[in-house]
Structure 1
Amino acid sequence: MAQKPSIPKGTRDFSPSEIAKRNYISDVIKSHFETFGFQPIETPSFENSETLMGKYGDEGDRLIFKILNSGDFISKVDDYTYSSKDSKSLGPKITEKALRYDLTVPFARYVVMHQNELDFPFKRYQIQPVWRADRPQKGRFREFFQCDADVVGSDSLLQEVELIQLYDAVFTDLQLESVTIKLNNRKVLAGISEVIGAKHLLVDFTVALDKLDKIGEEGVKKEMLSKGISEAAIQKASPLFSLGGSNTDQLLTLENMLEQSEEGNKGVEELRFILETITSLGLQSAKLTIDVTLARGLNYYTGAIFEVSAPDGVAMGSIGGGGRYDDLTGIFGLKDVSGVGISFGLDRIYLVLEELGLFPESVDKSLDVLCLNFGTKEGLAALKLTTVLRKAGIKADLYPSDAKIQKQFKYANNRNVPYVILLGEEELKEQSFVVKDMASGTQKTYSLNAVQDFIANL
């Protein structure tokens, strides 16, 4: 007996309806990307391991899917390395490639390799899948799509302002009109780690702080202690865990806390510029707020960082995020090229729209018209009519066989076809066709010589 097929955990099959809804989201995002002047690129689904490893911190590196070398890869491993069972020494000998973890590091590699072909500042967008060996749960998959927009070659904070506007435009268009765009700055976090005496543990500090909404204050403190951050340092940082008030109030608190840190003060000034500029320009529907616990646990961020939360009442993680990276291309040999970018989580946005019932009713309409099949002659005439409709840009199809009419109507109902065309023996004699409106049940007859009359009424 054949074994029942399955797919790997954290991956999914998508039905036609689901694909239509996903395309709806990506089309909206793509439209706004292009309105804001971003250009499309694509990169390979897998990269050389050395391109990816070491760019995301220890936690990120553990989530990278590695691809085994082809052929008899084990035979190329010496006995000592093989018997040591040490993955760090064995890994490089049996795998040289890995599935991309995100789109940002491959983009940095792309910029370095194509720098002489690009006009800077270069604004690119990319909508492609990425892979992470994470524990699957609601809204978190091992294979998922990212929709990224980045600008490289400019350190102007106006780019951050534009990216916030881009988030606002997309989510307003998707009718997600109460999302919260959280804003912080890695310089602020670096300043905090400095004033509490944990500057040498900045990465550990930010990685732990970034988990506040997942493991709570006590969980964060416990993790910080386990990473070597002293109780005294944690006590100094504890006001961050409950910092509230308006954006202005939080800026003042940070300013006072970081008065002895030059880097921290610079971060506060960057936050103030972004907030004041956005306030003067206004947003359509999104809310922009400072969140000093936001850390975005990726090592390459150096300035402003963003994260977008779903509307209140929807149990979902972030549906977007990003930030400024001043020297990401430097790891590939191209120094002093600043960049900033954001990402939209297509899969999570899908789940939010589905939960809130925000998909347009017509989004998964795969056909405008279905021609029924009454036999050989009638079917040929219906195919000719279908061809005319298709040339006019109408999604039209012909039922492939002259099955029972009841079965053909059921098929039309199952596919939510709004109009069904009947072209039987009588209609063929009279050179006409009947159009049935499936919603109202009404019927109207048109001449085969005046198909444009029907098209005009669609």
Structure 2
Amino acid sequence: MASKPSIPKGTRDFSPTEVAKRHYIIQIIKSNFEKFGFQPIETPSFENSETLMGKYGEEGDRLIFKILNSGDYLAKANATHLENRDSTKLTSSISEKALRYDLTVPFARYVVQHQNDIEFPFKRYQIQPVWRADRPQKGRFREFFQCDADVVGSKSLWQEVELVQLYDSVFSALGLEGVIIKINNRKILSGIAEVIGASDKLIDFTVALDKLDKIGEDGVKKEMMEKGISEEAILKVQPLFHFTGTISEKINQLSVLLAESNDGMKGVEELRFICDNVTQLGLSTAILDLDVTLARGLNYYTGAIFEVAPPKSVSMGSIGGGGRYDDLTGIFGLKNMSGVGISFGLDRIYLVVEELNLFPETVTETSKALFINYGESEAFYAMKAIKELRNSDIKVEFYPDNAKVAKQFQHADIRGIPFAVIAGKQEMELNMFSLKNLTTGEQLTLDFENLKQALLNS
């Protein structure tokens, strides 16, 4: 007996209804990307391992799906590493490619590879799946879509201001009120590490701090101590765990805390510029908030960093994030190419919109009418009408089998198709059609033009 088929953990099948809802979100994001001047590109689902490895920090590298070399992948394996079962060192000899972890590093590779064909500043958007070998849980999948918008070739902070507005525009169009756009700056985190005497532990410091909302204050302190950050340094950073006030008040507090750090003060001024201008321009539904514990776990961020939280009524992790990266393309040989970008988490946004019941009913509308099949000659008569209706962008379909009429009506009911079109011998003789409302039971006999108008207006 064949075993029941299944799919890998952290992946999903999508029904027609789910796909329709996902496309609704994607279309809103895409239209706003284009409204803000971003152009689409696409990159391969997998990259050379050297393109991805070492770009996301130690934790990120562990979550990259490696692809075994084709053919006899053990033929070129290092015998010593194989004998010692050293998987870390063995991997590089049996796997030269990997599934992309995000869209930003492949984009940096794209910019370097196509730099002579690109007009800078270059604003691109990309909507494609990514893969992470993470532990599946609610809102966290191993295969998921990212919807990214990035600008490279400009250091202007007006780009950050526009990206905040882009977030607001998308979430407003989705009807999501109360979305919180959290902002911080990596220079501020560097400055804090400097003033507490932990500059040599910057990565460990930021990785631990970024987990505050997941493991709490005690958990963060414990992880910092395990990474060699002193109790004295942790005591100095204590105020960050309870940082309150308006954005302006928080920035003023940071100015005092980071007065002795040039890097930190530069971050403060960058934050002040972005937040002041966003506040003066205004947001429709989103809320901008300065979160000094926000670190983002990716090592390539160098300036402003963003993370988007759903409305407080929904229990869900971040639904977007991004930031400024001044030297990402440098690792691929292209120096002095600053960039900044944001990402929308399609899968989590879907769950939030679904939970808040914000999908319009029209999103999952099926065909307007089902033509009932009464036989070969009737079928041809029906198909001529169907062709004309489809040319008028009216969604209709024909039941393919000459089955019992009751079964055909039942099919329309299960599919949620609101009308049935009866085109039997009697209708053919009169060159007419009978249109039946499957909700009310009302039935009208109409010529083709009136049938078309009835379906258009329904």
Q: Give yes or no for contact 1:436–1:444 (8 Å, CA) kept in 2.
A: yes
Q: Any conservation in 2 of the 1:189–1:206 contact (CA below 8 Å)?
A: yes
Change (3 A) 1:239 1:402: same
AA paired with 2:35?
Answer: T
State the match for 2:351 in structure 1.
Answer: 351
Aligned twin of 2:127: 127
Is 1:66 matched with 2:66?
A: yes
Q: Distance in 2 between matches of 1:453 and 1:65?
A: 53
Distance in 2 (CA, whole Å) between partners of 1:17 and 1:40 is 26
Q: Secondary structure at 1:250's aligned position in 2?
A: helix
> Are 1:457 and 2:453 an aligned pair?
no
Q: Secondary structure, in 3 states, of the residue corresponding to 2:96?
A: strand
- The answer to whether the aligner puts 1:440 opposite 2:437 as a matched pair is no
Q: Distance in 1 between matches of 2:79 and 2:335?
A: 41
Contact preservation (8 Å) 1:209, 1:295: yes
Code of the aligned partner of 1:36: F
Q: What amino acid does structure 2 have at the position aligned with 1:445?
A: T
| Cα 1:456/1:49, change in 2 over 3 Å | closer
Maintained 8 Å contact 1:368/1:417? yes
Kindly state the Cα deviation for residue 457 of structure 1 after the two structures are TM-superposed: 3.1
Identity, % of aligned pairs? 65
Work out whether residues 76 and 93 of structure 1, in 8 Å CA contact, stay in contact via their aligned partners in 2: yes
1:14-413 correspondence to structure 2 within 5 Å: 14-413=14-413
CA deviation after TM superposition for structure 1 residue 160, in Å? 0.3
Looking at structure 2, the residues matched to 414 and 455 of structure 1 have their Cα atoms a distance apart, in angstroms, of 20
Unaligned runs of 5+ in 2: none
Q: Report the alpha carbon displacement of residue 57 of structure 1 after superposing the two structures with TM.
A: 0.1
Provide Cα deviations, 1:213-232, integer angstroms capped at 9, x if missing partner: 00000000000011111110
Q: Retained in 2: the 8 A contact 1:45–1:130? A: yes
Contact (CA 8 Å) 1:446, 1:453: kept in 2 or not? no
Q: Is residue 389–residue 455 contact of structure 1 (8 Å, CA) maintained in 2?
A: no
User: CA offsets per residue over residues 205-255 of structure 1, 9 Å max, x none?
Assistant: 000000000000000000001111111001100110111111111111111
Q: CA RMSD in A?
A: 1.1
Give the conservation status (yes or no) of the 8 Å contact 2:195–2:261.
yes
Q: What displacement does 1:444 show?
A: 2.4
Q: TM-score, normalised by structure 2?
A: 0.98
In 2: Cα distance, 1:240 partner to 1:313 partner: 25
| Distance across 2 between alignment mates of 1:361 and 1:455 | 18
Query: Aligned equivalents of 1:189 and 1:441: distance in 2?
Result: 67
8 Å CA contact retained: 2:432, 2:445: yes
Q: Does the 8 A contact of 2:394 with 2:456 survive in 1?
A: no
TM-score by length of 1: 0.98
The more displaced of 437-446 and 194-203 is 437-446
Pairwise CA distance, 1:451: 5.0
Deviation readout 1:391-439 (Å, 9 max, x if unpaired): 1111111011121222212211222212221112211111100122334
Query: Contact 1:446–1:454 (CA<8 Å) still a contact in 2?
Result: no
Measured after TM superposition, the shift of residue 447 of structure 1 is: 0.9
Which amino acid is 1:253 matched to? Q
Deviations along 1:362-402, whole A, 9 cap, x unmatched?
A: 21113122111122221111111111111111111101112
Cα gap change, 1:78/1:308 in structure 2, threshold over 3 Å: closer, same or farther?
A: closer
* Cα deviation, residue 263, structure 1: 0.6
